[in-house]
Structure 1
Amino acid sequence: MKKFIRVLVFSMLISMNLLTVSHARSIFETLSKTSSQTSSQTSTQTSSTTSYKTVDGFYMVETDSYLNTVEPSTVVLPEEFREMAVDGYSLVYNDEFIPAEITLNKNIMSITPSGSLKDGATYQVRIFAGDDSRYAVNLKAYNLKSIDFSRETVVKIPANPEKGFNYPYYLVIPRNADKSEIKRLIVEPNNSGMVSDVLDLHAELAKAGVTGASQSGWVSEMLQIPALMPVFPRPLQEWWDNYYHTLSREVMLQTTGDGVRVDLQLIAMIKDAQELLAANGLEVEKKVFMTGFSASGQFVNRFTVLHPEWVKAVFAGGFTMYPAESIDGNILYFPLGIADIKEIAGKEFNLEEYKKVAQFVFTGDLDRNDRIVETEEDYNAYDAKVMYNLYKTEDCMIIWKTKERLINDLGFGENFQFHIYEGIGHGIPSAASHDILEFFMKNNGDEIVKINAHKDAGYWNPEELPKPIR
C-alpha cells in the first residue's frame, strides 16, 4: 500500500512539473530499496516457492519470454505471481525509464511500449509487490525472433536510421514461404489515398494493405512469398511538397528531415528484410517484384528508372516516366524522364539493368486520371507543356496508346506490356488478380515473358487461378 501511495504522489508531482521523471525514479527506488532491506525476511518468505537470485535488492525472475520491439508482448511469470498483490511496474533500459503500459493478469504480463524498442537490446521489467518485495525480469527485444512457417507472420519493423530508414515498414511472411520455389520479396509502396500528419494512420492503412487488401498482399498469399510495404508519410502540412507516395520531384530534392531520399530508404528496408529473412532460414533473391497503383504506381515507375538493379519485374497501374532524356526535341526532366537524373539521384541511368526488368502497366478504358495539366503536388507548368507536346490531346485512351508507341520507339518494347482493361475507371480490376500472378510467375527467370492478359475488367474465375510451382 505504501508503494501505491508513493507512485500516486510522484505521478501527481510529475504532472504538475514539480518533479522530473529521473528525480522521481531516484527517490522511488531509494525508498523502495530501504523498505525491502527492512523487510527482507518477509520478502524471502513470499518468494519461498521459487529460489531467486538477488541483484541490487531485486529478486531476478527467469523466463523464456521476450519483447517485441513495437507490438504488445506477453511475458509468462512463475505461478506464484497469480496471487501476488502488485503496487506497480517499470520498464528500464540502461538505468533509464522507458514509457510503457504494463498489466498483470494472474501470472501473465502484457507490455506495450509507447515507442519502439531497440532490436537486440536487453530491457528490465521491475515489479513492485505489495509486501515491499521487488522483482526484476530481464527481457531481450527482437524485431523478429523466429519464423514459424506453419502460419502467417506479420511483423512491423521500426524505423532504424542507423541502417538507413527513418520510417517503419511491414513485413509479411506467408504460411509455407519456405516451401515456395519463388524466392523473392514482393514490394509495394504504401498509398494511403489521403493526407494526414498522423503517421500511425498511414501505418494502419499500410498494414491492412500488405496483409491482404492490396496487390502485394494477394501475391504474397497466393505465391507464398514475403511482402514488404513501407510506412511513408503523406502529411497534411505542405502536402504539395511532400507527396512521398508518388516519389515526386520535390520529395527527391529534399535535403533535410526524415523524408530525405525515401527511394534509398526503401532500398535500405529491402536489404534489412532480406537479412532478417536470411537469419531465419529464408534466403531470397536481391531483385524484387514491385507493384503499385495510382500514386504507388507512379512511385514504382520512377523507382524502377532510378534503381533498376533492384527490380526483377513490375506490375503497376499507370505509367508516367520515360527512360529517356528527350523525345521529339522535348527535354524530359524528372519525373517525366532522365535528363537530370544525376542531379536528382546522384547516379547515371542504368540502361543495361533497366532492359532486364519485365514491366506490365495497365489502365482502365474509363479512367480519366491520366491528366496532362500542371498540379500542385507533382507536375509543374513545364511538365504540362511537354506532355501536351507529346500527346496533343486530353483523351486518356489516346494518351495511353501514345505512351505505348513512344516506349516502343525508344526501343523498350521487348520488356514492356501495356494493357487496357475494359469496363473500369480509376481502380484495380478483379481480372488483374489473375494477371498479376501469371505475370510474376512467368517473369521470375531470365526471360522476359508477356502474358495473354484478360480484357474484361470484371473477369474472375477462381478455378483458373495459376498454381505456382512449390
Structure 2
Amino acid sequence: MKLTTTALTLLFLAVAAFAQAPAPQTGQTIRVEPNASKGFSYPYFLYIPTAKEGESATRTLFVMPNNTGKPIDDLAEHEKSAKGKLVQAIFILNKLDMPILVPVFPRPEKEWKIYTHALDRDTLSTELTDYKRLDLHLAAMIGDAQERLAVQKSPVGKKVFVYGFSASGMFANRFAFLHPDLVKAAVIGSPGGWPIAPVSKFKGTKLRYPLGISDVKELTGSKIDLDVLREVPFFFFLGAEDENDSLVFRDGYEQEDEELALPLLGMKRVDRWPVSESLYKEAKLDATFKLYEGEGHRPSRKMIEDMIEFLAKHKY
C-alpha cells in the first residue's frame, strides 16, 4: 500500500495545530517487555501522565496501533517508529490527560502480503505464529497496561479509545469490530480504501473480511457482536484529495477483493465514502463520517482538532 505520511510531517502538523497549547504535563514513558504468558509476544510503550493531587476521576487509556509505513524485518526499526508516534501523541493529546499505549508490532519484508499493521485478512488466516492474530496480542497488552496503571495509582476504565490513520486506521477500525467490548470510542482516519462494513452482504454480494464481516466466524471462531458494536461511537475522517487506495495493492487486499469491490462499491475511495457511511447507518451504528475538502493523505490541523473534540465528548 502506498503511504505518504511521515513522522516528520505529523510532528510538524501537531506543532502547528497546538503551538498555543500549554506545555505537555510531566509523566513517564515505560517500555514493557514481551510477555507470552500474558498473551503478547512483542513489546509496547506506555505513557503514564502524572496523577494530579486530589484527582479521583478514572482516565481512559488511548491506544494507537503502530504503523511504520513499509515492511521492515528489523523490529528495532518498528520500535523506533512506534516511540516517535508516542511522542507525537503525548503532545497532541496533552489537554485530554490520558495514558497512551503504542504496540511494537512487526511488518515482515519476506512475507510482505501479511499486512500486519493493517490487521488484514492474512494476519487472521496465516499459520505463521509471529504474525497471526495481532489483535489478540493488543487486547492482552491493554489488559496488562490496565493492571500497571492501577498499581501506579492512575487507574483507567475497562474500555479504551482506539485511534489510527492510514494502515493503523485500518487496524483500529477492524480491532473495534473484533473486540467491541474493549472499545469506548474509535477515531479512524483514512482507513485504506474502505472501512470494514458492518454487513455480510451488499446488493446480494457477500463481503468477506475485511470488506465486510461475512466470514469473520470462520477466520476467528466468533461472529461480530453487532449489539455491542452499536454501543461504540466511531469518528471516520478522510481528505477529499486522498488517493491512497489500499484496494489496488496486494498487501492490503487480494485481487478478488479488488475485482469485487471496485464495480460494486465505487471506483474511487471518495465515491465509496458515502456508500460506507450508508452501511453504518443502516446497521444502526453510532458513526460520524467527515470528508475534508482540499486535504490529501495526511491528518490536517482541522482533523486533529475534530478528533480531540470527539474524544473529549466521550472521555467520561
Structure 1: which 5+ residue stretches go unaligned? 1-149, 446-470
Q: What aligned pairs does 1:444-459 form with structure 2 within 5 A after superposition?
A: 444-445=315-316
Q: What aligned pairs does 1:152-171 form with structure 2 within 5 A after superposition?
A: 152-171=27-46
Q: 1:207 aligns with which of 71, 76, 83?
A: 83
- If each structure's helix is expressed as a fraction of its own residues, which one has the higher value? 2
Q: Partner letter of residue 215 of structure 2?
A: D
Give secondary structure in 1 for the equivalent of 2:261.
Answer: helix
> Do the aligned partners of 1:210 and 1:217 also contact (CA within 8 Å) in 2?
yes
Of the two structures, which has the highest relative contact order with CA contacts closer than 8 Å and spacing of 6 or more? 2
Q: Partner letter of residue 103 of structure 2?
A: P
What TM-score, normalized by structure 1, do the two folds share? 0.59
Corresponding position: 1:257 with 2:133: no
Q: Which residue of 1 aligns with 2:65?
A: 189
Q: What aligned pairs does 1:307-326 form with structure 2 within 5 A after superposition?
A: 307-319=179-191, 320-326=195-201
Q: What aligned pairs does 1:338-357 form with structure 2 within 5 A after superposition?
A: 338-357=213-232
> Do the aligned partners of 2:237 and 2:303 also contact (CA within 8 Å) in 1?
no
Q: Which residue of 2 aligns with 1:286?
A: 158
Distance 1:233 1:307 in 2: 21
Distance 1:357 1:177 in 2: 29
Q: 2:272 aligns with which of 399, 406, 410?
A: 399
What TM-score, normalized by structure 2, do the two folds share? 0.86
Q: Structure 1 pair 351/410, CA: closer, same or farther in 2 (3 Å)?
A: closer
CA RMSD of aligned residues (A): 1.8
- Post-superposition Cα deviations, 1:257-307, rounded to whole Å, max 9, x if no partner, equal 322211000000000000011112121111100100000000011111111
Give secondary structure in 1 for the equivalent of 2:280.
Answer: helix
Q: Percent identity?
A: 38
| Greater Rg by CA | 1
Q: Partner letter of residue 209 of structure 1?
A: K
Distance 1:311 1:177 in 2: 25
Q: Partner letter of residue 264 of structure 2?
A: L
Q: 1:376 aligns with which of 226, 241, 250?
A: 250
Distance 1:371 1:280 in 2: 41
Q: 2:94 aligns with which of 205, 216, 221?
A: 221
Q: Which residue of 1 aligns with 2:297?
A: 426
- Post-superposition Cα deviations, 1:435-458, rounded to whole Å, max 9, x if no partner, equal 11110111234xxxxxxxxxxxxx
Give secondary structure in 2 for the equivalent of 1:411.
Answer: coil
Q: 1:172 aligns with which of 47, 55, 73?
A: 47
Q: Partner letter of residue 183 of structure 1?
A: R
> Do the aligned partners of 1:210 and 1:229 also contact (CA within 8 Å) in 2?
yes
- If each structure's strand is expressed as a fraction of its own residues, which one has the higher value? 1
Structure 2: which 5+ residue stretches go unaligned? 1-24
CA-CA distance at 1:172 after TM superposition: 0.6
Q: Partner letter of residue 254 of structure 1?
A: T
> Do the aligned partners of 1:247 and 1:298 also contact (CA within 8 Å) in 2?
yes
Q: How many pairs does the alignment contain?
A: 288
Q: Structure 1 pair 195/180, CA: closer, same or farther in 2 (3 Å)?
A: farther
